[in-house]
Structure 1
Amino acid sequence: MFFYLLNVIPPMLLGAQCVLLLILLKGDICPGQRGRIHKQLPIIAALWLAISPLFWPLASVGLIILAFFSQVKVSKTRDSGPIWLLQVALGFAIAFNVLHIFASERPQGLFILASTMFLGAGASHVLLLRARTRLQAFHRLLPVAGIVAAMLVSLAILWQTQMYSLNYLHSIIWHLVGCFALILAGIVGSTWHIFTNTTISKLQLNSGFVMSFAAVTGFAALLY
Structure 2
Amino acid sequence: MLNALISVLVPMAAGAQLILTLVLAKGEICPGQRGRIHRLLPVLLVLWLLVATQHLYVLLVVALTGYFYSQVKTGKTRQEGPLKILYLANVLAGITLLHDVLTAPNWIAAVMMVLSCLLLGTMAAHLLLTVARTRLQAFHRLLPVAGILAAMLLTLCIVPFTSGMASSQLQDTLQLILVCFSLLVTAVIIWSWHLLTTKSVDRIQLAISCLVLLTSVSGFHQLYFS
- TM-score range with shorter-chain normalisation? over 0.9
CA RMSD for the aligned pairs? Answer: 1.7
Q: Offset at 1:85? A: 1.1
Q: Offset at 1:189? A: 0.4
SS in 2 for 1:53: coil
How many aligned positions are there?
224
What is the match of residue 150 of structure 1?
A: 151
Q: Offset at 1:79? A: 3.3
What is the match of residue 85 of structure 1?
A: 85
Q: Offset at 1:78? A: 6.9
What CA distance in whole angstroms lies between the structure 2 residues aligned with 1:80 and 1:201?
27
What CA distance in whole angstroms lies between the structure 2 residues aligned with 1:78 and 1:56?
34
Within 5 Å, give how 1:57-206 maps onto structure 2.
57-74=57-74, 79=79, 81-104=81-104, 105-206=106-207
Q: Offset at 1:116? A: 0.3
SS in 1 for 2:137: coil
Q: Offset at 1:199? A: 1.4
Q: Offset at 1:76? A: 8.0
Query: Is 1:29–2:40 an aligned residue pair?
Result: no
SS in 2 for 1:199: coil
What CA distance in whole angstroms lies between the structure 1 residues aligned with 2:49 and 2:112?
23
Moved more, 199-208 or 171-180: 199-208
What CA distance in whole angstroms lies between the structure 2 residues aligned with 1:205 and 1:113?
22
* Aligned residue identity for 2:201: I
What is the match of residue 54 of structure 1?
A: 54
SS in 1 for 2:52: helix
Q: Offset at 1:98? A: 1.3
What CA distance in whole angstroms lies between the structure 2 residues aligned with 1:184 and 1:77?
39
What CA distance in whole angstroms lies between the structure 2 residues aligned with 1:75 and 1:85?
20
Runs (4+) off by over 4 Å: 75-78
What is the match of residue 13 of structure 2?
A: 13
Q: Offset at 1:186? A: 0.3
Cα distance, 1:80–1:143 mapped onto 2, change above 3 Å: closer
TM-score by structure 2 length? Answer: 0.93
Q: Is the 8 A contact 1:77 1:83 kept in 2?
A: no
Structure 2 gaps, min length 5: none
Map Cα deviations across residues 193-221 of structure 1 (whole Å, 9 max, x no partner). 10111111122221112111110011112
Q: Is the 8 A contact 1:118 1:146 kept in 2?
A: yes
Q: Offset at 1:99? A: 2.3
Q: Offset at 1:82? A: 1.5
* Aligned residue identity for 2:123: G
Cα distance, 1:98–1:179 mapped onto 2, change above 3 Å: same
* Aligned residue identity for 1:178: V
